[in-house]
Amino acid sequence: MSWYEDLSLWSGFSDVLFSAERARHAADLVATSPLLAFPPGSRVLDQCCGVGFFSAPLARRGHRVTGVDIHRELLERAEAESEGSFVRADVREYVSPDAFDVVLNMYTSFGYFDEHDDNVQVLRNAYRSLVPGGELIVDLLSKEIYASWVGPPKIVDVPGGMVVMRDTILDDWTRYRTDWTLVRGNTAEHTALTCWVYSAAELKDMFSRAGFEKVQCFGNFDGGPYDGEATRLIVRGTRA
């Protein structure tokens, strides 16, 4: 089993990944970000939707949302919180031709697959699922941003304990490994995941290979440039 197929990672570390604070932040981004301001009633596909942190506020704004995730338990939480349709599928396979005005892939839900081409396939599936003129937005931590903060372990407080996070760069900066240890009282739970880490130039190239045009990068959800101040890499491309 690959790490992303292991539900215990997503549910065991839910206090970090799917915290109430993150839900509020996602709702705030949907309310304020010019990059997430879609025409009323847009059909939105949320790839790797998790518990629906972006699906729910988008649906509340009147968009017609479909969330796709590999874990049924996360989709059940999304369904309980949000209008919309939630589908259990692997993003390497899920395609709904010409069905969406927007495809989102949020909060570093990209680069999970061992084969680089499988990651490109996720972009191809988004392309085929969009109507002409529709747009894909991918939001992640890029190689450049990683380079600015990778190093000493970080500690994040969670209810009743803490998570210690340590990142290791692998394979000549093509991938990274994250080790997470959740410490609560006398117990410690450990998990690790390995992802690709892409630069802006690499992702732009992947978007082009998948067929996208007008590929642009942003460094935050205000639509600011992807420069030395960037806190995220947000790549947007349009289906021709």
Q: How far is the CB of 71 from ligand SAM (least distance, A)?
A: 4
Cβ proximity to ligand SAM: between 17 and 44 the closer is 17
Sheet holding 100-105, edge to edge: 85-88, 64-69, 43-47, 100-105, 130-140, 233-238, 213-218
Site size for ligand SAM, by CB under 6 A? 20
Cβ proximity to ligand SAM: between 204 and 232 the closer is 232
Is residue 155 a contact partner of residue 166, using CB atoms and an 8 Å limit? no
Instruction: Return the residues of window 102-141 that contact ligand SAM according to CB under 6 A.
Output: 106-109, 112
Single out the residue of 29, 30, 44, 48 in contact with ligand SAM (rule: CB under 6 A).
Answer: 48
Three-class HEC string of 216-228 = EEECCCCCCCCCC
Q: What phi and psi values does residue 183 have, to the nearest 5 degrees?
A: -110, 120
* Number of residue whose CB is nearest ligand SAM: 50
AA letter at 138: V
**Other beta carbons within 10 Å of 148:** 11
Instruction: Return the residues of window 13-42 that contact ligand SAM according to CB under 6 A.
Output: 17
Q: How far is the CB of 67 from ligand SAM (least distance, A)?
A: 9
Single out the residue of 44, 65, 70, 123 in contact with ligand SAM (rule: CB under 6 A).
Answer: 70
Q: What phi and psi values does residue 232 have, to the nearest 5 degrees?
A: -140, 165
Separation CA 205–CA 157 (nearest Å): 38
Per-residue buried b or exposed e for 48-58, using 16+ beta carbons within 10 Å of the residue's own CB: bbbbbbbbbbb
Please tell me whether residue 44 binds ligand SAM under the rule CB under 6 A. no
Write each residue from 167 to 206 as x if it is in contact with ligand SAM (CB under 6 A), else as -, in one continuous string. Answer: ----------------------------------------
Single out the residue of 43, 61, 71, 77 in contact with ligand SAM (rule: CB under 6 A).
Answer: 71
Q: Footprint of ligand SAM on this chain (CB under 6 A)?
A: 4, 10, 17, 48-50, 53-54, 68-71, 74, 90-91, 106-109, 112
